[in-house]
Structure 1
Amino acid sequence: MVGQKRYALFLATQDSEFVKSTYGGYFNVFKSLLADEGEHWDAFRVIAGEFPDDKDLDSYDGFVISGSSQDAFADDDWILRLCSLVGKLDQMKKKILGICFGHQIICRVKGGKVGRARNGPVLGLGRITLVDEAAKIGEYLDGIPTSLNIIKCHQDEVLELPESAKVIASSDKYDVEMFSIGDHFFCIQGHPEYNREILFEIIDRVLGLGYIKQEFADAAKATMEGTGPDRKLWEKLCKTFLKGQL
């Protein structure tokens, strides 16, 4: 189709059995947030070594990097390959939306520092606040309120931003909740694609694996009592950045 918009999702995580059975995989979870009718979306499971050919990169209008249970500062082969790919896309000035792990990978590629979260891991609904300068950073922030609810699930954080980056939002626990670089990198530490069901399944799964204590799990679920993520606002924000939809 002439003029059809094309986007690619780099999946840095495996699908849980719950996500596969309920949504058909994280690819569909992301598409439900970001995709519009008439667009073509491809998924590359980079954690399993699936990458696009360099010759095909220019055919895409934008890219999304998902979250992951892996560390963005690790040197696994696929992570280094992903870093190299992000560097190529940076040179091409292709738009990339980085989510959680993706947010940290972009920081790493551009010369920042990522490591274990100084104030500890977070799991549950969190509230982030736009910094005072955010209104000057991008048109995609037009009409977005100064604070937003988002589901968070991470044990690492951006420790030092690249020199070229600008902080968009922070929270009481993390200095960098969102940042941008130029007009082609937009990075979010939280998970705009997650909903209550996905969060609760993750909590139950990591609790069953012994990664967290019951008290931590209960507190994580309690963050969702009577409230939820601002999904429609996140959809607007992410689509506006990725596609220029004002």
Structure 2
Amino acid sequence: MTSSLASRSEFSTNEVAPTGASSSSSEPSGFHKTPPVGISSCGFCHHRSPLRFNPHPPPPPIPPILSLPNSTFCKLFAFTGERLRMGGKKFGVLLCAEDSDFVKKMYGGYFGVFVKMLAEEGETWDLYRVACGEFPDDDEVESYDGFVISGSSRDAHGNDAWICRLLTLLTKLDSLKKKVLGICFGHQILSRALGGKSGRAITGWDIGIRTVHLSSSSKIFSSLKIPALLSIYEIHRDEVWELPPKAELIAWSEKTGVEMFKYGDHIMGIQGHPEYTKDILLNLIDRLVKLNFILDSETEDLKAKVLAREPDREAWRRLCLNFLKGGL
């Protein structure tokens, strides 16, 4: 099937400096020292609403990772913007942070990272930069089959205007029983929207590859024949403190008590980053050092551990795909 993407007039914005109302990428929540400015003067981007409907946008260069000759992704999609149009099922990415220059160059932004992992032929994927005040219209929400909430540099327990608006949207998505997958910050904000609590992790930052224990009682794992232990990239200093009422704890680790939870059959949160690649995590470690969140002396050990192991990316991909699109 032939596919195309409608791009924005502003596909790439300059990376924001790490001060004031700045942003970095979808790093872990609690990443910035200062609160963001109001939505009306967003420090993340230069516009408020999605511009994916612009009929005459200049096409941006295809990111090198997506232009590889043997890339299955490339055979299915032409990545030239912020909307993947193919008809069929329709999904939205609620992006909660700004793309770093590295991720924009290598993957076309975090939207490209999520689309590469989750999109399949015959689907439409839209991007909403919710940290900039870009949200789907109320009458649009019902047309979506599901949403993915990204990580963020902000605190899921904060009360920034866009976070409060996001909480309202998530409450609506719950009432409509829409499929929603939350990653890192997305995992935490989902918990909060449903009545749970999150905050700073008592044990501090978790950076690297973490082995996660999956609940043997959860049908979501047994039906896919997924092993009881899976490794995943982690980079966060916040965590879910208390699950929402009626939520099911389905994974934990020695570091974090709530690595995954499920709420009904339509909502799932993952504290780690199944979408991350090794180079993304290594770049984020460098950024944490520059922003003085970790010591330069820690980087060698952190990077060595990242380089020494591989996460179970394919198992996480199957899990996420089956949750969003299957009957799990």
Q: TM-score range by the shorter chain?
A: over 0.9
Which has the larger displacement, 206-215 or 73-82?
A: 206-215
Which whole-Å deviations, capped at 9, do the CAs of 1:131-179 have from their partners, x for residues lacking one? 2322x3x368521111111000111000011111111110001110000
Structure 2 equivalent of residue 133 of structure 1 = 217
- Provide the rounded CA distance (Å) in 2 between the counterparts of 1:160 and 1:75: 18
Structure 1 equivalent of residue 173 of structure 2 = 89
Flag the 1:209–1:2 CA change in 2: closer, same or farther, 3 A: closer
Contact 1:12/1:65, CA 8 A, preserved across alignment: yes
Structure 1 equivalent of residue 296 of structure 2 = 214
Contact 2:197/2:242, CA 8 A, preserved across alignment: yes
Residue 70 (str. 1) matches residue 154 (str. 2): yes
Structure 2 equivalent of residue 196 of structure 1 = 278
Contact 1:140/1:237, CA 8 A, preserved across alignment: no
Contact 2:87/2:122, CA 8 A, preserved across alignment: no
- Provide the rounded CA distance (Å) in 1 between the counterparts of 2:270 and 2:319: 11
| TM superposition shift of 1:220 | 1.9
Residue 61 (str. 1) matches residue 145 (str. 2): yes
Structure 2 equivalent of residue 166 of structure 1 = 248
| TM superposition shift of 1:3 | 6.7
3-state SS, counterpart of residue 307 of structure 2: coil
TM-score when scaled to structure 2? 0.72
3-state SS, counterpart of residue 64 of structure 1: strand
Flag the 1:162–1:196 CA change in 2: closer, same or farther, 3 A: same
Flag the 1:142–1:111 CA change in 2: closer, same or farther, 3 A: same
Tell me which amino acid in the other structure corresponds to 1:37. E
Tell me which amino acid in the other structure corresponds to 1:184. H
Which consecutive residues of structure 2, in runs of 5 or more, have no partner in the other structure?
1-84
Contact 2:114/2:275, CA 8 A, preserved across alignment: yes
Flag the 1:106–1:216 CA change in 2: closer, same or farther, 3 A: same
Structure 1 equivalent of residue 234 of structure 2 = 152
Contact 1:141/1:237, CA 8 A, preserved across alignment: no
Tell me which amino acid in the other structure corresponds to 1:79. I
Aligned pairs for 1:96-111 within 5 A:
96-111=180-195
| TM superposition shift of 1:210 | 1.8
TM-score when scaled to structure 1? 0.95
- Provide the rounded CA distance (Å) in 2 between the counterparts of 1:151 and 1:111: 27
Contact 1:129/1:170, CA 8 A, preserved across alignment: yes
Whose strand fraction is larger, Structure 1's or Structure 2's? 1
Residue 52 (str. 1) matches residue 146 (str. 2): no
Q: Over aligned residues, Cα RMSD in angstroms?
A: 1.7
- Provide the rounded CA distance (Å) in 1 between the counterparts of 2:314 and 2:305: 19
Greater relative contact order: 1 or 2 (C-alpha under 8 angstroms, separation 6 or more)?
1
Sequence identity, in percent?
Answer: 51
Which whole-Å deviations, capped at 9, do the CAs of 1:71-99 have from their partners, x for residues lacking one? 00000000000000000000000000000
3-state SS, counterpart of residue 235 of structure 2: strand
Give 1:31's match in structure 2, choosing from 115, 138, 163. Answer: 115
Whose helix fraction is larger, Structure 1's or Structure 2's? 1
Structure 2 equivalent of residue 117 of structure 1 = 201
Which consecutive residues of structure 1, in runs of 5 or more, have no partner in the other structure?
none
Contact 2:86/2:122, CA 8 A, preserved across alignment: no
Looking at CA atoms only, which structure, 1 or 2, has the larger radius of gyration? 2
